[in-house]
């Protein structure tokens, strides 16, 4: 049993239910939370950016003032419609649906937030390498199942800090409850952190992989 499922059943589920209520009163998006990290780590210059798995287009919109041209790509039509609506007033943002791996244009930035575990990871990393220009950057926020003591320690830290971050980012109790989940099929991550580390060592030598709060990790790599 993983720590996350143990917490859900602890004390007959009372603890988990109370935490869920608390988190619904002070909701925060574990994905959007990392937009500021991405914006703080943009390559220079940053002319063309591709956000793979753009979902509702939140990151594409956030990148828009900082990048000449932003391409948001998503395989799901509903997500593309929502992203197009969200970015309608942003002329430098294009939302696309074809396979992102097919493009030939050199990219300054590729981002993926909670997307890599939906893809064949090794294949996706190889395509990112190919599509980036030299000195272009890959910035990703990911999820991995906990398998080591270190992973579990980060899970504990994420569980404890979850309501604290909620209070800080959303101090007044929300009338709407937790943000609605994406309507796309959700896939659980299967590649553990340490295996991802080994893949990155092979395919993106020098990539910085770090555990983060919010049950996430980040990958930062600048193409040589
Ligand atoms: C968990 S959502 C994350 C969405 C968004 N990045 C965010 O932070 O809210 C994963 C997204 O990846 C998209 N996706 C899955 N496989 C994809 C693929 N092969 N190419 C492009 N997008 C894909 C899904 O449709 C979904 O919108």
Q: pLDDT tens, 55-67?
A: 999 999 999 999 9
Q: Where in the chain is the domain with CATH 3.40.50.150?
A: 44-144+191-222
For the stretch 75-101, pLDDT in tens is 999 999 999 999 999 999 999 999 999
Question: Which CATH superfamily does the domain covering 44-144+191-222 fall into?
Answer: Vaccinia Virus protein VP39 (3.40.50.150)
Rounded Cα gap, residues 135 and 129, in angstroms:
11
Higher pLDDT residue, 6 or 160?
Answer: 160
Residue 61: predicted pLDDT: 97
For the stretch 160-192, pLDDT in tens is 887 777 777 777 766 665 556 566 666 789 999
In the reported structure, the alpha carbon of residue 113 is separated from the centroid of ligand 1 by a whole-number distance in angstroms of 8
Whether 14 shows a pLDDT value over 70: the answer reads no
In the reported structure, the alpha carbon of residue 115 is separated from the centroid of ligand 1 by a whole-number distance in angstroms of 5
114 lines ligand 1 (CB under 6 A): yes
Higher pLDDT residue, 7 or 65?
Answer: 65
Residue nearest to atom 16 of ligand 1 (CA): 118
Rounded Cα gap, residues 191 and 9, in angstroms:
25
pLDDT interval class at 23 (50, 70, 90): low
DSSP 138-150: EEEEE-----SHH
- Give the three-state DSSP class for 45: coil
């Amino acid at each position: 049993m993983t720590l996350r499922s143990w917490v859900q059943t602890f004390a007959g589920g009372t603890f988990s239910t109370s935490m869920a209520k608390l988190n619904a009163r002070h909701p925060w998006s574990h994905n959007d939370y990392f937009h500021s990290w991405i914006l703080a780590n943009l390559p220079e210059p940053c002319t063309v950016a591709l956000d793979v798995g753009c979902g509702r287009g939140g990151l594409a919109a956030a990148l828009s003032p900082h990048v000449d041209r932003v391409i948001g790509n998503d395989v799901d039509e509903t997500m593309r419609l929502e992203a197009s609506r969200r970015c309608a007033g942003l002329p430098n943002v294009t939302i696309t649906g074809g396979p992102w791996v097919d493009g030939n244009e050199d990219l300054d930035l590729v981002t993926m937030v909670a997307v890599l575990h939906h893809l064949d990871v090794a294949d996706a990393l190889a395509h990112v390498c190919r599509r980036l220009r030299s000195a272009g950057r890959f910035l990703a926020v990911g999820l991995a199942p906990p398998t080591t003591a270190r992973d579990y320690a980060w899970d504990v830290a994420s569980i404890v800090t979850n309501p604290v971050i909620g209070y800080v980012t959303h101090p007044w109790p929300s009338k709407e409850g937790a943000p609605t989940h994406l309507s796309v099929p959700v896939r659980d991550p299967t590649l553990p952190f340490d295996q991802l580390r080994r893949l990155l060592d092979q395919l993106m030598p020098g990539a910085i992989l770090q555990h983060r709060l919010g049950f996430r990790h980040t990958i930062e790599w600048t193409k040589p």
